[in-house]
A and B are shown apart, each in its own frame.
Chain A
Amino acid sequence: MNNRLIILATSFFLLTSFVFLSVIEKKQADINTKNVWMIYFENPKDKSLNFTIENHSLSTNFHWEILADKDSVTQGNSVIANGAKKTIPVSSDGITNKKITVIITSDGNTKEIYKSL
């Protein structure tokens, strides 16, 4: 059996496989291809209400609304490109004993975050 040929062929097959898998992994690791978006408070521990929309989806139009308990306080629209994020400042001055909920809607998908002040 030609050992040299077996070693060379195995090394070649492995190298090809590794490069292929690395390319696949690189693509899989790109969150911008996963059609997901997320929202979060910039400061989770204090009472500030600034929040960020992080977009990794194909949709770029986001509608946001702020509720104090069940009453709408303010709302707006943002255009955020794929791979971008936008922080929206919200003042919490004068708000006490209320559950502040941020509701974001995009392309029929809704997410919310909230704090009880």
Chain B
Amino acid sequence: MPDFIFSQTILYLTLILVLFVPGFFLILGTRMHKEFSLLELFVLSFGSSIALIDFLVIILGKSPLGITRNSIVGGIILFSVICLTVYFIFHRKNKDESSIPAQTISSSRIKKHSTILVITLLFLTIFIKTIYFKDAIFPTSTDLGHHMYWTRVIAVTGELPKYEKVEIQEDFSLGKPSPIADFIIGEHLPFAAIAIISSASVISAFPVITLFLIHLMSILAIFVLTQALFKNSKHQNAIATATLFLVGPLWAIASPQAKFASGGVIGNNIGNLLIPLIILLFLKALIEKKSKTLAYALFLSFGLAYTHHLSTFVFAFIFFFTIIAYAIINHKTILQDAKEWMKLFFSPWVLGVLAAGIIFILFLYTPTYLNTTAIDTAVGAPSKATRTGLTFAELKSTAGEARFAFALLGIVILFFARNLGKYSQAFLIGWIVALTIMSLRPNWLFVDIPSNRVASYIVFPIAIIAAYALIKILTTLKSEGKNYLNPIFLLATFFVFLSFIATSGLYDNALALNDDSSANKALQTYNASEYITKRSDAKDMILKDHNYLAGDSWIKLFTMRGYSYPLSRGYFKRYEDETKQREQCTNFMISTPTTTEAKQCYDGTGTDFIMINPKIDSAQFSRLKEFWQVYSADDIAIFHKAQ
């Protein structure tokens, strides 16, 4: 028990050190804390820390210091001390300035019940997600297993990882390592830093807990962004609270919410935090005409680029469509506005961040996806059925039926909502239009990415716009001085809306809840992995099955013999891909081990251990003399191919 309490304390202190301290001191050092409310400061500190940790660990990895506990902690402390020193030097020169953020003063005027309502919604959000995570906290998910492998590589070697995989060639042999474009270093560095400093095992609750934290911060980011977008509305807080209601306790589990956290979809999770924060900073920079805030937005954009290619790609489209929306809405003033943007852009802060970013990309570390193959993969005519766009019904289901209905209405209202402010209106329209087209008609934009992945990003703007529509309707029905409805009917309307939304959102939650944990089966897989790791070496080749084994992607965290070790029989549909020639060896070697092709595969790859589910796949091996069953448990068996 004392060990558990100690390890928990160290973990939470590490989370604060890695995911809050650097960002907070960055904002303090650049004296931007005055520009934000306390809640904005809280969320921005968190988001900035993720970007800063990425850059810090990359620098350490490229330096002789290496990535160690001392170097990371030392780096964070050094950075914080420098920021603090800059803050005090600047503070002394500007003693007269008020140190109380303007937002805080206005915030205190808002009534107590709003705070209680927001806290209640946050409690419900965390409570419902915790109920879901209860059965998903034990690490078994495939994506998380892949990501934690690279995290462990960084933690074990103290170096930046080489993202490489080995594939089976046409002659059945294993090819030379080739680069992987799908993994982005920023997905792994914060986790590696936490694992190194706290000594927490990657096969524990810490990765999902960290993802839960990031996810909750993304909900708070949406909340503060909504406040900023509707700053001109007298119902600013009501819309923000309604957004929190639509994105917090309701639809709390389905993708991209808690399921993305438990499933280890790290890049999307961080992307869903950074995209709202970047929009918030761009919005503030343009409204308040502050180049320092624009530089901050660019800095976080670089952070996003080092974390997740799909999110960066999506954000680029959001940005592009926002400019178009702005130009259409404000066609009379666009040239004058463009001149002001140029003034903001050509400032020492912005140019400094831009130069630092370019130097970082060109000379220090280039993200793995910035190569021709990866760009070709994402851009062009849709190459698969899953990339040709969703149907309207599918998009409605992804967004949540009730939210979608109100958002449709909200989009119409938005086009006439000039009082919101030209930038707020443009960002909201640009955001929703970009994601709608990317999800429904990707071919119009030459986007070649799985449409359901793109559509998962639409949940946040849909929630904001739906909340806007909901509040707009209710407040219009009860405008100042005139009631269009009898108060009883007004109350009834409110409860009808509430019931419609809550039923839809809670039903979605109920559908997504797990029946049971897969820990039992996964633990057997991990036990078998320990067994095989101790009794084999790199000259042996293991083949495992992904279809019927629980937690199989975590086996490589035991062997630690490369990302492609052990070989894996993937989902059967992968072997029938008409658009791409796939290797068949991993399927043949388990499904039909007696065929000529399978024998060639065994010889070519040197496979001599097979890990399968005995209830499904043992019959074909038990008949063969050259296969020995050397390990047996309820849900996993290991066969050895004797020489």
Residues of chain A having any CB pair with chain B under 8 Å: 1-7, 9-10, 13-15, 17-26, 28-29, 31, 34, 36-41, 43-45, 54, 99, 111-116
Contact = CB atoms under 8 A, between A and B. Distances in A.
Given A7-B38, A36-B634, A18 B12 contact: yes
Interface stretch (B443-451, B470-478, B484-492, B517-525): B517-525
B107 A2 contact: yes
A4 B115 CA distance: 10
Given A9-B122, A112-B632, A1 B520 contact: no
11 contacts: A1-B107, A1-B115, A9-B119, A10-B216, A25-B137, A34-B519, A37-B633, A40-B632, A43-B535, A44-B609, A115-B642
B39 A22 contact: no
Given A2-B112, A34-B519, A115-B642, 9 more contacts: A1-B107, A1-B110, A3-B37, A5-B119, A23-B4, A36-B520, A36-B523, A44-B640, A113-B632
Nearest to A109: B634
Contacts of A1: 39, 107, 110, 114-115, 118, 237
A29 B119 contact: no
B39 A25 contact: no
Contact of A2 (B115, B519, B630): B115
B317 interface: no
Contact of B123 (A9, A26, A112): A9
Nearest to A100: B628
B90 interface: no
Contacts of A13: 122-123, 126-127
B38 A4 contact: yes
A18 B209 contact: yes
Shortest beta-carbon contacts, A-B, top 3: A44-B630, A25-B205, A3-B38
B220 interface: yes
Contacts of A2: 107-108, 110, 112, 115
Contacts of A40: 531, 630-632, 638
B37 A10 contact: no
B213 interface: yes
B130 A21 contact: yes
A99 B626 CA distance: 11
A51 to B, nearest CB: 9
A31 B527 contact: yes
A44 B12 contact: no
A31 B320 CA distance: 52
B504 interface: no
B216 A45 contact: no
Contacts of B531: 40
Nearest to B631: A40
Given A25-B137, A40-B638, A116-B625, A20 B130 contact: yes
Contact of A3 (B39, B112, B523, B630): B39
B173 interface: no
Most chain B CB inside 10 Å of its own CB: which residue of A18, A19, A36? A18
Contacts of B628: 41, 44, 113-116
A54 B118 contact: no
A18 B11 CA distance: 10
Nearest to A9: B119
Contact of B631 (A17, A26, A36, A113): A113
Contacts of A26: 4, 205
B630 A115 contact: yes
Interface in B103-142: 104, 107-108, 110, 112, 114-115, 118-119, 122-123, 126-127, 129-130, 133-134, 137-138
A28 B138 contact: yes
A40 to B, nearest CB: 4
A23 B205 CA distance: 9
Interface string B497-525: 00000000000000000000101100110
Contacts of B220: 10
B42 interface: yes
A37 B115 CA distance: 53
B8 interface: yes
Nearest to B205: A25
A54 to B, nearest CB: 7
A36 B126 contact: no
A6 B122 contact: yes
Interface in B620-643: 625-626, 628-634, 638, 640, 642
B39 A24 contact: no
A75 B237 CA distance: 76
Contacts of B642: 45, 115-116
Interface string B531-564: 1100110001000000000000000000000000
Contacts of B208: 21
Contact of A6 (B39, B213, B519, B528): B39
B233 interface: no
Contact of B115 (A5, A44, A45, A114): A5
Contacts of B134: 20-21, 24
A31 to B, nearest CB: 5
Contact of A29 (B110, B204, B209, B630): B204
A24 B634 CA distance: 23
